[in-house]
Structure 1
Amino acid sequence: MFPLGICSIVAITVIIERFFFFRRIQATALAEKVLKMVEGQHMDEAQAIAGQSSLPLIKVLAAGINNRLHPAKAMEAAGITEMSAMRRGLPVLDTIVTLSPLLGLLGTIIGMINSFQIMAVSGIGQPHAVTGGVAEALIATATGITVAVIALIPYNYFLARIERETEKIEHYATRLEIALTTPPVKE
């Protein structure tokens, strides 16, 4: 039960941290503003706004604005870095989802062994001692499955959220690349 307690504390910590991270990175309005500035050839203003942001989408756009000779490669490199930041902690959740039920089963097996040892020492004359030990042992399995379920739902949500953010970054990066390579309209 002690390892399951540690798993649950770590899972809850990662879930809370990732929740606040994803809650903070809504940047569509700022991305639109930066794109409008680039399209209007206000590069210095766009660079200043994008350079001040810590949001993943805006960091990727800033990389493209700062490297106008090769914006696609610069944004790709920045995108890889930002994807890594978004995935931080998820391998831990994935491990906890897999490990917790196994730890629970291990606890149950150890409890069953203890119950059979009690039965071997006291004989079959005390079935209550054996069944109480079996019931206690099954608590470990239930706890392991509960920890896994509690970690699995946010884990899948975060994976879906990363996928949406990746699509958003690709969309805005493509739009920025087009804006940077389109010659300005002369009046």
Structure 2
Amino acid sequence: MLQIIIKGGWVMVPLIICSLVSLTIIVERLWFLKKIAATDYAEQIVSLVKKGQVEEAARLSNVDAAPLLRVLHAGIEHISNPVKAMEAAAIAEITILKRGLPVLDTIITLSPLLGLLGTIIGMISSFQVMAVGSIGQPHVITGGVAEALIATAAGILVAVSSLIPYNYFLTRVEKETEVIEYYATRLEVVLGTRPHRSDMHEDSKKYA
């Protein structure tokens, strides 16, 4: 393996760096996404608010670091204007969900180009060998071309191995965004229909 990397030329160095960065982001995102499922808690929170148990809902929404719960917690904490509070929280949480993805996207685009650059440099070297009189030794030329193609193969390999996780992460981000919008809207409706304390006080006086 080390010999193949050496034959690929200096361009293999940035390709190896790209592969390591890509692997780090993929592992970190998988670990992060594994921890953020909080749909059960969200159902309980909406149910508690609907019953008027706002303090209990606030406590429950604060027990987990999931983006969905943080958005709901923002709405409950700023009960006078929950819509704006949840919108601001959602923007911040979606940014966290997308963390590392622009870098992964750059690696997907950059890796094949680096591989192509390595191949072009290798081809130039092969033609220089031809120019100095090795045209009668075709194995020298074909060997140089084969070594040049190593960089292209490495670049494509890095891009493909990054592309599949990248698309998966994008899908998960879209799904989590939809879930956040769904529960935020439900909480907004529940908070909007929940009787205010003044209304409850008037009702209690009426039936006293």
Same fold (TM over 0.5): yes
**Equivalent of 2:42, from 31, 52, 66?**
31
In 2, Cα distance between the equivalents of 1:62 and 1:112?
Answer: 60
In 1, Cα distance between the equivalents of 2:154 and 2:142?
Answer: 19
2:83 aligned with 1:67: no
Where in structure 1 are there 5+ consecutive unaligned residues?
Answer: none
- Residue 98 of structure 1 is matched in structure 2 by 109
Per mean C-alpha deviation after superposition, the further-off stretch among 84-93 and 109-118 is 109-118
In 1, Cα distance between the equivalents of 2:38 and 2:58?
Answer: 16
Query: What is the CA distance between 1:62 and its match in structure 2?
Result: 0.1
In 2, Cα distance between the equivalents of 1:97 and 1:55?
Answer: 28
Sequence identity (%): 60
- Residue 171 of structure 1 is matched in structure 2 by 182
- Residue 135 of structure 1 is matched in structure 2 by 146
- Residue 81 of structure 1 is matched in structure 2 by 92
- Residue 49 of structure 1 is matched in structure 2 by 60
In 2, Cα distance between the equivalents of 1:8 and 1:48?
Answer: 42
Size of the aligned set, in residue pairs, is 187
After TM superposition, the score normalised by the length of structure 2 is: 0.87
1:10 maps to a residue whose letter is V
Query: What is the CA distance between 1:52 and its match in structure 2?
Result: 2.7
- Residue 130 of structure 2 is matched in structure 1 by 119
Contact 2:52 2:194 in 1 (8 A): no
Write out per-residue CA displacement over residues 121-147 of structure 1, whole angstroms, 9 at most, x where no aligned residue.
Answer: 233111101100100100110110111
In 2, Cα distance between the equivalents of 1:53 and 1:22?
Answer: 14
Per mean C-alpha deviation after superposition, the further-off stretch among 67-76 and 114-123 is 114-123
2:136 maps to a residue whose letter is G
| Higher Cα radius of gyration | 2
Where in structure 2 are there 5+ consecutive unaligned residues?
Answer: 1-11
- Residue 3 of structure 2 is matched in structure 1 by none
In 2, Cα distance between the equivalents of 1:147 and 1:63?
Answer: 40
Contact 2:79 2:191 in 1 (8 A): yes
Query: What is the CA distance between 1:183 and its match in structure 2?
Result: 3.0
- Report the RMSD for the aligned CA atoms in angstroms: 1.4
1:152 maps to a residue whose letter is L
After TM superposition, the score normalised by the length of structure 1 is: 0.97
**Equivalent of 1:162, from 173, 182, 185?**
173
Contact 2:134 2:140 in 1 (8 A): no
